[in-house]
Amino acid sequence: MAQELDKWIETELTPKERVTRAMEGKPLDRPAAVNPTSNINVDLMNLTNSPFPEAHRNPETMTNLAEAGHTILGFDTIMPVFSIIAESVALGIPVDWMEKDNWATCRGVLCHAPEDLKFPKDWIKNETAVAVLDCLKELKRRHPEVYIIGKTMGPWTMGYHWFGTENFLLMSYDDPDATLKALHIMKETTIEFGLAQMEAGADALTVPDHATGDLVSGEYYHKFLYDLHCELSEAIPIPLIMHICGRTVDRMGWIGETGFASFHFDSKNLPNESVEAIGDAKKLIGNINNPTVLFTRGPEFAYAEAVRAMNAGVRCIGPECAVPLIAPTENLKAIGQAVRDYPTLSEAKRAEWEAMAPEYDIMGTVIEK
């Protein structure tokens, strides 16, 4: 697969052209540095004077911080929806906003049955939803040549927010029919917010749906989410990027059939096995490890993991999930450097860099070589 995609063109592409062609499997000038979730850290907040939690709610602050992922880190994409709570706040779910060195989180339990799900009529006009939409419009104005990615939460994740994670997982076991009913109700907010972001200028949307490998089996994914994800891909007519954390090779084959353009995959899945599981390298984005590599090791390890993914044929390279907020900036910049260097690296050098990349067990612990 790597050899098939290793056809570099001489024309320098714009970031938007590069990401578009990478996701379509077309020849590139180089691989793309892609951020489907968040590549923002406290350092960038300080450099742009755009801290959390204001950057979750104020469109100008959000815009100034989001564009730093491109202008400072060198990514080909900009993703302004840093958290996973924008629509939850708009829908009336209580949230702890926290400070700039921590993530905003939902709290409390509002629902115990599908019948409890009640959405405010004009929820999409809430300030947190409007901030995202206004930010996307401004990013499109400032950076028409950059690939802009929005984010709309999937129904399984919204289940955690409405019902509480433990309660929702127990309901899926005790009452599958009620769970499916709830998922179908909640998917409407996924679609509504997604279409609004598309109209605001998003080129693609990440759909985080946290049926994570440590909580939900591949069979559960197929039972509860496969059909729903197929419906989402039909309802929202721009490229969708599915995000699920954890060990997920047991469901990548199904994910590859949903109509989603790409799957944002975790470092618990090796690039080679992931390409084989999903069936097409152009459908993968990732998978630089967060807690070990981007947080605690030097930029050379981020570079090595990027090279390993590119050696497997992956052409959209980025962190596996939202990066740790105190991850060193030089580690994040190494991802962009790796994609820029890759076409000029010899086979021997590529192999040498790949040999440096750590491997992880199902719990994410480094396997000593």
Structure confidence at residue 244 (pLDDT): 97
How confident is the model over 114-124, as a mean pLDDT?
94
Domain with 280 in it: 2-359
User: What are 190-193's contacts with CB under 8 Å, separation 24+?
Assistant: 190/152, 190/153, 190/154, 190/155, 190/158, 190/232, 191/152, 191/232, 191/235, 191/236, 192/124, 193/86, 193/87, 193/124, 193/129, 193/152, 193/153
Query: What is the mean pLDDT of the segment spanning 85-98?
Result: 92
**What number is the average pLDDT over the span 120-124?**
92
Domain count, the chain: 1
Is there a domain that residue 364 lies in? Answer: no
Confidence grade of residue 364 (pLDDT, cut at 50, 70, 90)? confident
* Confidence class for position 316, pLDDT limits 50, 70, 90: very high
Tell me whether residue 299 is in a domain.
Answer: yes
Number of helical H runs and strand E runs in the chain: 19, 12
**What is d(CA 294, CA 287) in angstroms, rounded to the nearest whole number?**
11
pLDDT in tens, 170-203: 999 999 999 999 999 999 999 999 999 999 999 9
Q: What is the pLDDT of residue 8?
A: 94
More confident residue, 19 or 361: 19
Is residue 1 scored above 50 in pLDDT? Answer: no
Per-residue model confidence (pLDDT) at position 5: 56
Mean pLDDT within 337-351: 97
d(CA 339, CA 27): 14
Percent of the chain beyond pLDDT 90? 93
Residue 367 inside a domain? The answer is no
* Whether pLDDT at 221 is above 50: yes
Rounded mean pLDDT, 53-64: 97
Note the pLDDT tens digit of each residue in 19-38. Answer: 999 999 999 999 999 999 99
H or E segment at 262? strand 262-265
How many percent of the chain have pLDDT more than 70? 98
CATH assignment of the domain containing 172:
3.20.20.210
pLDDT at 29: 97
Is 369's pLDDT higher than 70?
Answer: no
Mean pLDDT of the chain: 95
Q: Under a CB-based contact definition with an 8 Å cutoff, are residues 266 and 213 in contact?
A: yes
Could you give the CA distance from residue 199 to residue 49 in angstroms, rounded to a whole number?
A: 29
Residue 324 has pLDDT above 70, yes or no: yes
pLDDT at residue 109, rounded to an integer: 87
- Which ranges constitute the DSSP H helices of the chain? 2-5, 15-24, 42-48, 54-57, 59-66, 68-71, 86-90, 127-142, 155-163, 165-174, 176-200, 218-224, 226-235, 252-255, 271-278, 295-296, 299-311, 329-341, 347-356
What does the longest C-alpha to C-alpha distance in the chain come to? 60
Closest CA to 162 of 88, 216, 223: 88
Cα-based distances in Å from 231 to 82, 209, 228, 240: 25, 14, 5, 12
